Structure 1
Amino acid sequence: MIDPLAEVVTLLQPQARFSKVVSAAGSWRVRRTESGQPFYCVILEGSSRLEVNGHEPIQLQQGDFVLVPSAYAFTMTSLEPPALEYLDSPPVLLPNGEFRHGPQDIPADTQLLVGHCTFGSPDAALLVSLLPQLVHVRGEKRLATIVQLVGEESRSARPAREVILARLLEVLLIEALRSAAGTAASPGLLRGLADERLAVALRRIHENMTKPWTVAQLAKEAALSRSTFFERFSRALGVAPMEYLLAWRMALAKNLLRRQEAGIAEVAERVGYGSASAFSVAFTRHVGLPPARYVREQLAAQPPN
């Protein structure tokens, strides 16, 4: 049985490219305006408050994990935020490699591991659109174990620390996405998979991409009326059923074309089109250039061996 989340994660190619340990004391605030970089945070000790544009503030506590797959602006503060006129000051780099916020003459009451990850897929924007805008996981035993390992490794000075930490963080990212599938995540694939009826339809899509699916057929798989299925799917995933199907077909097609695993006619067949011409029309409309030209441009962009 094909796992939709596994397929998305495999294509995304998540990697933890940057992380740092941040400690804080007293009243503090950090504001960031990022260029769509995926942001994550692990609460190693203490607690803090996170505000992400478009979402209610979240109180974070020890062991929590937060992932914002496409962060454009967020604010993190102490539980009691400083006054609005408080001037945000840059963190101070301590001798132990930590970055410190707030006064340095009192013990830190919060310690975080924060950083940015990258998604190696050229289709990251499309695939990220299938994920929730905000993933917050708490109380998951498996995740807590990985968080503990990350915390221990981040504080150590052992050989290959950065390599081990990067691998642990990649596992943490994937486990967080899996854990969040059972929570009230914001619209996206995870919320859809948490709905037993929708999960059946999603699995059918991923198991049989070549079938000429209709909303009525998918509704039947989910044992729902057509109108109920359409509304429930659109609300849970943030996109209509046929829009999701098209996005996933195009993501798979682009991956196959980039890897040159098959010619255009075979790719068309493998992603559910009856002819190469029908596929070319759909691909051109969705991607902005014909499949053959897309392949040429991808080859030209590859670094020389």
Structure 2
Amino acid sequence: MLDPFTQVVALLQPAAPFSKRGSGAGRWRVHRSDVGGPFYCAILEGGCRLEAEGHDEIVLMEGDFVLIPSAQNFAMSSLLPAGAKDIVSTPILLPNGEHRLGSADDPPDVRLLLGYCVFRSPDAALLASLLPKLVHVRGVSRLATLMQLVSDETRAQRPARDVVLERLLEVLLIEALRSGGKTDAAPGLLRTLMDGRLAVVIRRMHESPSQSWTVTQLASQATLSRSVFYERFGHAMGMAPMEYLLTWRMALAKNLLRREKASIAEVASRVGYSSASTFSVAFTRHVGVPPARYARDTPRGRMSPAEPGSSAESGSIV
């Protein structure tokens, strides 16, 4: 059976090339508003607080994992209330390689692994819009096992340590996304797939993107009335059914144009448009450039701007 989540993850091409070990002691607070790329944090010991734009404050404890696919404005702080004098601009690098927030002399109240991951697809922004705005995973044993492996690897000085750590972080990222639909109430693809009736609709869209779907036809697939389906889908996904279908069709079209160098007419047919001209108008409106120009100017396998060496790597919560 086709798995829509696998399709989205495969197109996103997630990787985690940049991470730091951090710790905090006493009262501290750090804020970032200029990140933009996907941010993740795994609590290895202790606890701290997280404030993300559009979400209530979260108290993070040992074993928790947080992923913000598009981190724009967020802050982390100690469990102890922190004031203006406790704001950290630059962390202290300890001899053991940890980046310390707060007091360098006191034993840590929290140890964490955090950093910026990469969605290597040029369509990352479009595809990330299908994910929850924030994924907070707690109490997932598989994730805890992966976090322990990551923690052990960060402390050891084994051969190929960096390669192993990158692979573990990639798996950790995918497992967090996969678990997020079970543990996070934020709208997005994962939450929608947890609804059995809506999952059927998502699979139909992904199996047959070329079909001329209507809201009524999609509601029928879910065995729901049109009005109930429309409201239920929008509540779970965070966007209307036809908006999701358009977003998915455009992601497929960009992939076909970039990787297979298919003709405009062929791409139009494969993503549900009756003519190349109709598709070109829709693509230009949605993407911002005509499909022919996109295909010409986008090399195969081009990486996302958020690669190592970009602002996503140089900027850090610690």
TM-score bracket for the superposition, by shorter chain length: over 0.9
Shift of 1:87: 3.8
1:110-259 equivalences under 5 Å are 110-259=110-259
What SS is found at the alignment partner of 2:103?
Answer: coil
Q: CA deviation at 1:300?
A: 10
Q: Which residue of 2 aligns with 1:25?
A: 25
Asked if the contact 2:137–2:184 (Cα under 8 Å) also holds between the matched residues in 1, the reply is no
CA contact (8 A) 1:183 1:191 kept: no
Question: How high is the TM-score relative to the length of structure 2?
Answer: 0.91
- Kindly indicate whether residue 66 of structure 2 is the aligned counterpart of residue 66 of structure 1: yes
Instruction: Give the partner amino acid of 2:179.
Output: S
Counterpart AA for 1:25: A
Q: Report the Cα distance in structure 1 between the residues aligned to 2:301 and 2:12, rounded to whole angstroms.
A: 19
Residue aligned with 2:71, SS: strand
Q: CA deviation at 1:194?
A: 1.4
Distance 1:295 1:261 in 2: 7
Change (3 A) 1:87 1:137: closer
* C-alpha displacement of 1:9: 0.7
Q: Distance in 1 between matches of 2:301 and 2:79?
A: 47
Instruction: Show the counterpart of 2:282.
Output: 282
Distance of 2:302 and 2:27 partners within structure 1: 48
Could you tell me which residue of structure 1 aligns to residue 270 of structure 2? Answer: 270
CA separation of 1:270 and 1:37: change in aligned 2, threshold 3 A: same
Contact 1:183/1:194, CA 8 A, preserved across alignment: no
Using the alignment, how far apart are the partners of 2:300 and 2:24 within structure 1?
47
Is contact 1:132-1:190 (8 Å) kept? yes
Query: Equivalents in 2 of 1:157, 1:65: separation in Å?
Result: 24
Is the 1:22–1:113 Cα contact (8 Å) retained in structure 2? yes
| Mapped partners of 2:212, 2:92: distance in 1 | 58
Match of 2:76 in 1: 76
Opposite residue 53 of structure 1, the aligned amino acid is E
Identity percentage of aligned residues: 64
Q: CA deviation at 1:224?
A: 0.8
Whether 1:36 aligns to 2:36 is yes
CA distance in 1 between partners of 2:56 and 2:7 (Å):
30
In the alignment, the residues of structure 1 paired with residue 210 and residue 91 of structure 2 have an alpha-carbon distance, to the nearest angstrom, of 53
CA positional deviation for 1:301: 10
Q: Secondary structure at the match of 2:115?
A: strand
> Secondary structure of the equivalent of 2:36?
strand
CA RMSD of aligned residues (A): 1.7
Q: Which position in structure 2 is the counterpart of 1:94?
A: 94
SS of 1:37's equivalent?
coil
- Output the CA distance in 2 between the equivalents of 1:127 and 1:175: 17
**Alignment TM-score, normalising by the size of structure 1:** 0.95
Kept after mapping to 1: 8 A contact 2:138/2:183: no
Q: CA deviation at 1:261?
A: 4.5
- Deviation at residue 88 of structure 1 after TM alignment: 2.5
Once the two structures are TM-superposed, the CA of residue 122 in structure 1 deviates from its matched residue by 0.8
* Residues 1:102 and 1:289: Cα distance change in structure 2 (over 3 Å): closer
Query: In the alignment, does 2:9 pair up with 1:9?
Result: yes
Q: CA deviation at 1:198?
A: 1.0
Q: What is the total number of aligned residue pairs between the two structures?
A: 303
Equivalent-residue separation in structure 2 for 1:7 and 1:185 (angstroms): 22
* Aligned equivalent of 2:57: 57
What is the CA distance between 1:5 and its match in structure 2? 0.9
Letter in 2 for 1:24: G
Structure 1 residues 147, 300: closer, same or farther in 2, change over 3 A?
Answer: closer
Tell me the alpha carbon deviations over residues 211-256 of structure 1, each in whole angstroms, 9 at most, x when there is no partner. Answer: 1111001111111110011111111111110011011001100011
Q: Contact 1:33/1:74 (CA < 8 Å) preserved in 2? A: yes
AA matched with 1:137: V
| Distance in 1 (alpha carbons) for counterparts of 2:295 and 2:94 | 49
The higher-RCO structure (CA 8 Å, 6+ apart) is 2
Distance 2:229 2:147 in 1: 37
- Tell me how far apart the structure 1 counterparts of residues 24 and 66 of structure 2 sit (CA, whole Å): 18
The CA deviation at 1:109 is 2.2
Contact persistence 1:29–1:81 (CA under 8 A):
no
> In structure 2, what residue type is equivalent to 1:52?
A
Secondary structure of 2:154 counterpart: helix
